[in-house]
Amino acid sequence: MSEYKDYMIRAVAADAQIRAFAITSRDLTEKARQAHNTSPIATAALGRAMSGALMMADMLKGPRDLLTIQIDGDGPMQGLVVTADNQGHVKGYVKNPHVILDPNAQGHLNVGGAIGQGTLTVIRDMNLKDPYIGQIPLVTGEIAEDLTAYYAQSEQIPSAVGLGVLMNKENTVRRAGGFVVQLMPFAEDEVISRLEENIRKISSVTSILEEESTPEHLLDVVLEGFKPEVTSREDVRFYCNCTKERFSRGLILLGTEELENIISEGKDIELRCQFCNSAYTFTTEEVKKLLPRTRVSEPEKEQ
């Protein structure tokens, strides 16, 4: 099986009164699960959030623009952070990856219960002086409902968001994906009511993906009767841009004194990337080589 089979499409329908995004994200969700060794609930939360972030990042314009979804909750999972760019890359983590709860009343993974009450923050970094930040209280903590509410409250765009992750018995990811459908301001009543009717009929994203695991099929169901026209297609994957050099810059920022302390202890240090869980080991020799760079960067820091 090819590793990067996941992809995302963008479409318009009903004479551009509707714009839509759909994604399959099984492979990238499985990759994140393996990287973070997440429990099924944590995998579901992470997979849903990554699918949402990728589709939201696809709406950004610049090649270096980033979209981050941050959820902070008072439940046992505590929350999560995912960041996507508009090149189809996403990375992320949940704060407590090992959380386990009983299924909810519908017999599903209790993502809302694991997240609890709290806030959803969306950060769009478009390489301007300040990023655009929108925040709302969580509605259910199930993520799709929260993103729907975010669009309504924070951006005044009537939207429907559906996200789903289905696990295999042995706790690997079986299906993952989702959609975002948005109504343009000039949408006619007839279009709105038909779309609402379609959305009402959907029981779950993963049951649609079980029929056929493609973004096209998701949109055919969600936009039934509208004949959606696909306008773009992009491969998506779990990818982190961390490097040892980036972590060494972090060490340099600790300053001469702190690095000398580390060196005098004479032990290797291991730094771990939160987003992808990669570990970077620095030997005492390597830390010593960073010392001259702290002396170069310190006058800058004082400015």
Which residues here bind Zn ion, judged by CB under 5 A?
240, 242, 273, 275-276, 278
How near is the Cβ of 275 to Zn ion at its closest, in Å? 5
Q: Which is nearer to Zn ion, 42 or 90 (CB)?
A: 90
Q: How far is CA 175 from CA 14, 81, 180, 214, 234, in A?
A: 29, 21, 17, 10, 18
How near is the Cβ of 278 to Zn ion at its closest, in Å? 5
**CA-closest candidate to residue 23, choices 111, 119, 90:** 90
Q: Which is nearer to Zn ion, 59 or 271 (CB)?
A: 271
Q: Which residues contact 300 (CB under 8 A, 6 or more apart)?
A: none
Q: Which is nearer to Zn ion, 49 or 120 (CB)?
A: 49
CA angle 192/197/201 to nearest 5° reads: 145
Number of neighbours of residue 156 by Cβ within 10 angstroms: 8
Q: Which is nearer to Zn ion, 93 or 226 (CB)?
A: 93
Structure tokens at 92: 């992320």
Number of neighbours of residue 61 by Cβ within 10 angstroms: 7
How near is the Cβ of 16 to Zn ion at its closest, in Å? 39
Q: Which is nearer to Zn ion, 93 or 179 (CB)?
A: 93
Please state, in angstroms and rounded to a whole number, the distance separating the CA atoms of residues 235 and 233: 7
How near is the Cβ of 81 to Zn ion at its closest, in Å? 12
Q: Are 224 and 36 in contact (CB under 8 A)?
A: no
